[in-house]
């Protein structure tokens, strides 16, 4: 979590605070102090000081009953202002809803933030059995979930190489299929098809597919994805689902231009 966050000289405290904020905001259930310690590799006293300082500024808030930490009111106010510049929800929501309706699967919009993707929108499909791997606010490293695989596949080769050097522990955290060799193979397949396929590599039985959405510079900045149970992602359905993903991703890209 801390890798690559302290590149600005003298800014270690800000990098640490940013890492803590991202962890607190990464789940609707909130984060415990122990969660933050584990995911940052910081000592418990350091994490406690950071959380208390952030709470004093209104950037985090602690539930008195559970002790869990949540984003604070100041983050809400800041987010409301930032949304005017970064939010593409109004542009993308119609496509996410349409994708869920036409596939029957849960559909999502995720955004790239540094070396991660963050889920911004979720729309449930009509099929009654669902996968709950993705939800608003959840983060995954690039190349792990289908959205991050689609984005990583269409970054310039030099950026892909640099990321894989930084993310050398992916296989330790996410399994052997996320080692560099298998991951590069999936990236090549994604570029060839145009869309990514995640064959239950995060949670057993939960499949996903994704397609990149490009910004005005032609860089993959967002991704549409769908998830569902394995029986809904048979090989003979991949082409149909992939075509729908690409159709909707292209529509958002075109509207953003």
Report the CATH number that the domain containing residue 18 is assigned in CATH: 1.10.10.10
Which range among 69-78, 118-127, 183-192, 195-204 has the greatest average pLDDT?
183-192
What confidence score (pLDDT) does residue 6 get? 47
* Residue-number span of the structural domain to which 23 is assigned: 12-83
* Distance of alpha carbon 237 from alpha carbon 45, whole angstroms: 52
Please tell me the predicted confidence (pLDDT) of residue 187.
97
In the block, residue with structure tokens 């604070």: 72
Number of independent structural domains in the chain: 2
Whether residue 131 sits in one domain with residue 77: no
Question: Considering the domain boundaries, does residue 5 fall inside one?
Answer: no
Q: Looking at the structure, tell me whether residues 70 and 44 fall in a common domain.
A: yes
Residue 7 placed within a domain: no
Give residue-wise pLDDT tens across range 9-64: 557 888 899 889 989 987 778 899 999 999 888 999 999 999 999 999 999 999 99
Q: 212-231 pLDDT, tens per residue?
A: 999 988 999 999 999 998 88
Give the span between the Cα atoms of 255 and 77, in whole angstroms: 28
Return d(Cα 179, Cα 173) in angstroms, integer: 10
Same domain for 77 and 98, yes or no, is no
Q: Is residue 2 part of a domain?
A: no
Taking the C-alpha atoms of residue 67 and residue 35, their distance in angstroms, rounded to an integer, is 12
91 and 40 share one domain = no
66 phi and psi angles, rounded to 5 deg: -100, -20
Task: Convert the pLDDT of each residue in 129-176 to its tens digit.
Answer: 666 667 777 889 999 999 999 999 999 999 999 999 988 788 888 889
């Amino acid at each position: 979590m801390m890798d690559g966050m302290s590149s600005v000289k003298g800014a270690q405290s800000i990098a640490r605070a940013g890492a803590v904020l991202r962890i607190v905001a990464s789940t609707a259930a909130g984060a415990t102090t122990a969660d933050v310690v584990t995911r940052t590799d910081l000592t418990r006293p350091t994490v406690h000081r950071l959380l208390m300082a952030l709470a004093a500024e209104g950037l985090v808030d602690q539930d008195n009953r559970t002790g869990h930490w949540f984003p604070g009111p100041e983050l809400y106010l800041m987010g409301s202002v930032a949304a005017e510049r970064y939010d593409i929800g109004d542009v993308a929501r119609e496509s996410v809803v349409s994708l869920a309706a036409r596939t029957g699967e849960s559909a999502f919009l995720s955004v790239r933030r540094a070396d991660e993707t963050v889920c911004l929108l979720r729309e449930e499909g009509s099929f009654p059995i669902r996968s709950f791997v993705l939800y608003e606010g959840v983060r995954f490293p690039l190349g792990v979930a289908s959205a991050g695989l689609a984005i990583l596949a269409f970054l310039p080769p030099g950026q892909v190489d640099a990321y894989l050097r930084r993310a050398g522990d992916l296989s330790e955290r996410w399994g052997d299929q996320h080692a560099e060799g298998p991951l590069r193979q999936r990236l090549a397949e994604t570029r060839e098809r145009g869309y990514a396929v995640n064959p239950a590599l995060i949670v057993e039985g939960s499949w996903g597919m994704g397609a990149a959405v490009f910004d005005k510079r032609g860089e993959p900045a967002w991704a549409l994805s769908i998830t569902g149970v394995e029986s809904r992602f048979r090989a003979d359905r991949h082409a149909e689902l992939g075509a729908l993903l690409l159709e909707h991703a292209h529509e958002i890209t075109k509207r953003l231009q």
